[in-house]
Structure 1
Amino acid sequence: MSIFSVSLSSDKAPAHWGENAKLSMTAEGAVVHVGGASDTVRVIRQAGRRIDGLGIAEVKLSGEWSKDQQWAFAMSYTRARKPGSIIWAETADKDELERCYAALLFTRSLVNDTPEDLSPETLALRAAQWIESLGGDKVTVSTIVGEALKEAGWTGIYNVGRGSERPPVFLELDYNPTGKEDAPVDAVLVGKGITFDSGGYSIKSSEGMLDMKCDMGGAATVTGALGLAISQGLNKRVKLLLCCAENLISGHAYKLGDVLTYKNGLTVEIVNTDAEGRLVLADGLIRATETGAPLIINAATLTGAATVALGNEYHAVFSMDEKARAAMLDAGKAENEGFWPLPIEKFHQDKCPSAFADTANSRAQKGGGAGGASNAAGFLSRFVNEEGTGWVHLDLAAAYHGSATAEMPAGATGIGIRSIARMLQDYQG
């Protein structure tokens, strides 16, 4: 049986397919008609969804396709359950597309997995195993698990995760291609790895909880990005820090009114147990800052406020460092991935006041009140260097779709892995 072929054409579709048809069928497969389209990528994505909807298990991209056109098709064609496979067009970009696609499949699979199958320990293990498969003996891994987190002073990860029977984990992975123990760390990636978020005692609604398997999307995204960069020949030393926990309710769970004391001495009052992502990331940022790396990128499905502001098409970018922010936005533009800047200033550190601690972890209002995404970024900025030099916070509003759209399948998107990988390759601190 011949493989289903998909080609591009600048001609209009035959009239019997409809006056404005952008997809037609032939004996060999399908033709995507991009001629006259103001946004060819959008046309290709919509075609990818329609072809995927036919249940076709394998497609071959035939004829002339650019790299970005092939990637647009792949992003939309690759569904969560039993995804079809792609034979890339015979172009100079074929090997690079295969590397990107492997990273995309890893990232999406990890996010789309069930919360029962992906415990904090399993998340850390699968991330480490995948990076080790790419980096070999250049990779070393250490983990701190359960009660050992309390003893080590990683108070955010410990307290968020202690309500679950499955222990929280802090993963530190070191990719060091130099082989020198004293080599400087060029960059640190920090990922929020909440494998399921019930909201804790600030419990979510059933509808709000349904997709919370995706709350480890930050951890998956930075892991996917590092793996992609390694496969592209990364020659810089990079650390990967994953802050992994289940945010559940039990007699041992953390509570509203608790005050946590972090390693940097900062005290935090808990006014919302559903604002847990920033609590675990704070530990990761403290550790990242200790390395002295000139670039720190943290990624998290952190706030609904970012989604309200940007929808599901862009990731929000926050940075107090103009150079780092511009570099992140430029990387996104170069990779045709959606990133958009949102404001953060020093005063955002004071937007969550507390009478009982240096700061609260949110505001006692629905969604954290006005400017919730910036307020969360302000909270995180307390855990990096004073000026925020080299630090980029990504609030991943585009990481996951609860249901399919005309252009994207349901589930994880993987948007961001290419841009973060580019940052690792190109950024000069």
Structure 2
Amino acid sequence: MRQTLVDNEAGAPAIPLVALRRDQLAGWLADHPDARPWVESLGFAAEPGALAPLPGPDGRLARMLAGIADDDPWAVAALPARLPPGRYRLDPEPEPAAAEAAALAWRLADYGFDRYRAAPRPPAPLLVWPERADRARVRRAAEAVELVRDLINTPAADLGPAELAAAAEALAARHGASCRSVVGDGLLAENYPMIHAVGRAAAPARRPRLIDLRWGDPAAPRVTLVGKGVCFDSGGLDLKPSASMKLMKKDMGGAAHVLGLAGMIMDAGLPVRLRVLIPAVENAVSGEAMRPLDVLPSRKGLTVEIGNTDAEGRLILADALAEAASEDPALLIDVATLTGAARVALGPDLPALFCRDDALAAEILAAGEAAGEPLWRLPLFAPYRRLLDSKVADLASVSDGPHAGAITAALFLAEFVPPTVPWLHLDVLAWNGRARPGRPEGGEALALRALFALVAARVAAPAGS
């Protein structure tokens, strides 16, 4: 990433940048009456994206007025693409929360996935670090978002289970964590039968595995993150149509999210015993593929009848969640690109949240609002558990009907997490279908800062983390 946030160096003047909503323009002009004739002659009304350069006595640019959208935490991200090259500073100096949001939006406005194409880009306008922004917090969040986006954007040919494991190992090495993988038939030996069953069709070239990262003081509160790592999802024998298969490189978006969140936790030095579990597979078609109505054993001991081989994510998560719950963590979070039903209900930008604990749900919802990363809670509606009844196994992997798909998927996962474990399940899209300021089309991180704030609050993190 290019350096777009810079220090306020002596002898390097910065142009004051005044970001105004439409309802703020009149007040600013009242405080700067000398500027009114010029601003009005430009027809500047603080519409989002509009600029009004104000010259100084020497004819040089002395101040820049910029219109921004109302109540949009990404508003500042629209400015770098419109401003001429130069060094800018926010005027007036924003309060801490606004300063950090602006700095993060400015940095992420410059994000681009350039692994396969070196596209020329014009010089980026520079922003002097807002004085009240916590630089470590901004950097930490930006690096996490960039990691998530890079992983999701990488095509499946270059990011299979082994490469996803390598990404986790690189993150672990950076922070002094340990990381091991249980690979291929080792999954059977160590009792992860559903991860093996989903991924075996892609072996031997792309063997399934369980990635297991651990960090922190073993005596500290346990925080465990589980992420769905389906590196490509063909649908298996219940093959997806081409339109539905096209974006399935993003089906490891849950894994990308928990790696990004783990990086934030480790970078901040939160006082936790962190564990990250990522079942990494490719759901492929071969003679080894699981079949509809197969019955699979699971790590927990429950038997599962396969209703549709394209509902594979919940199977691999179930084995990982059973292992995570066995340590009785103080907090268990799983993130998965799990169901189209959640997207039908809530659209692409609003993660579906499932949680048994009202207090815990309220905490993460409040953290999301504070971070500008809203979530929406859907019910773990117990009467729908009957939709997962099987005549031959302990439970079915899917319902036979078209209704409540996100809820029944969450209820399936709930079978593998004891009620005593504080647990959050997030069903996310992890993809931007259209480009917006700071959020280009492609892989996207959702609710990372909200989740980090929740973890920090739950373990009484040191001030400033």
- TM over 0.5, shorter chain: yes
Q: 1:5 and 1:75, CA in 2 relative to 1: closer, same or farther beyond 3 A?
A: farther
Return 5+ residue gaps in structure 1 as ranges: none
Matched, 1:404 2:435: yes
Please tell me the residue identity of whatever aligns with 2:136. D
Matched, 1:21 2:47: yes
CA distance in 1, matches of 2:233, 2:63: 43
Q: What secondary structure sits across from 2:228 in the alignment?
A: strand
Tell me if the contact between 2:299 and 2:323 (Cα under 8 Å) persists in the aligned partners.
no
Matched, 1:394 2:394: no
Q: 1:25 and 1:251, CA in 2 relative to 1: closer, same or farther beyond 3 A?
A: farther
Superposed CA offset, 1:340-378 (max 9, x none): 10010333333222222111111245xxx2111010000
1:234 to 253, 270, 275: 270
Q: Which residue of 1 aligns with 2:138?
A: 97
CA distance in 2, matches of 1:15, 1:194: 57
Q: What secondary structure sits across from 1:162 in the alignment?
A: helix
Please tell me the residue identity of whatever aligns with 1:409. P
Tell me if the contact between 1:271 and 1:362 (Cα under 8 Å) persists in the aligned partners.
yes
Tell me if the contact between 2:18 and 2:63 (Cα under 8 Å) persists in the aligned partners.
no
CA distance in 1, matches of 2:227, 2:368: 18
- Point out the structure with max Rg over C-alpha: 2
Where do residues 26-425 of structure 1 align in structure 2 (5 Å cutoff)?
A: 26=53, 31-34=65-68, 38-41=70-73, 43-45=75-77, 47-48=78-79, 51-52=80-81, 62-63=90-91, 64-65=93-94, 66=98, 67-81=100-114, 87=127, 89-93=129-133, 94-133=135-174, 135-136=175-176, 139-164=177-202, 165-176=205-216, 178=217, 180=218, 183=219, 185-365=221-401, 369-385=402-418, 387=419, 389-397=421-429, 399-405=430-436, 408-425=439-456
TM-superposed deviation, 1:78? 2.6
TM-superposed deviation, 1:303? 0.5
Tell me if the contact between 1:188 and 1:296 (Cα under 8 Å) persists in the aligned partners.
yes
Q: Which residue of 2 aligns with 1:8?
A: 18
Give aligned-pair identity as a percent.
32
Tell me if the contact between 2:233 and 2:249 (Cα under 8 Å) persists in the aligned partners.
yes
Which deviates further from its counterpart, 153-162 or 345-354?
345-354
Report the TM-score when normalising by structure 1.
Answer: 0.86
TM-superposed deviation, 1:112? 0.9
CA distance in 2, matches of 1:211, 1:58: 38
CA distance in 2, matches of 1:309, 1:32: 36
Please tell me the residue identity of whatever aligns with 1:328. I
Tell me if the contact between 2:168 and 2:179 (Cα under 8 Å) persists in the aligned partners.
no
TM-superposed deviation, 1:90? 3.0
Which deviates further from its counterpart, 201-210 or 211-220?
201-210
TM-superposed deviation, 1:269? 0.8
TM-superposed deviation, 1:339? 0.9
CA distance in 2, matches of 1:351, 1:86: 56
Please tell me the residue identity of whatever aligns with 1:356. V
Report the TM-score when normalising by structure 2.
Answer: 0.80
Tell me if the contact between 1:197 and 1:209 (Cα under 8 Å) persists in the aligned partners.
yes
Which deviates further from its counterpart, 155-164 or 56-65?
56-65
Aligned positions, number:
410
Q: 1:325 and 1:39, CA in 2 relative to 1: closer, same or farther beyond 3 A?
A: same
Return 5+ residue gaps in structure 2 as ranges: 1-11, 26-38, 54-60, 461-465
Tell me if the contact between 2:221 and 2:271 (Cα under 8 Å) persists in the aligned partners.
no
Tell me if the contact between 1:401 and 1:409 (Cα under 8 Å) persists in the aligned partners.
yes
Tell me if the contact between 1:299 and 1:395 (Cα under 8 Å) persists in the aligned partners.
yes
TM-superposed deviation, 1:5? 7.3
Q: 1:31 and 1:154, CA in 2 relative to 1: closer, same or farther beyond 3 A?
A: farther
Q: Which residue of 2 aligns with 1:427?
A: 458
TM-superposed deviation, 1:333? 2.0
Q: 1:314 and 1:44, CA in 2 relative to 1: closer, same or farther beyond 3 A?
A: same
TM-superposed deviation, 1:30? 6.7
Tell me if the contact between 2:235 and 2:310 (Cα under 8 Å) persists in the aligned partners.
yes
Please tell me the residue identity of whatever aligns with 1:8. V
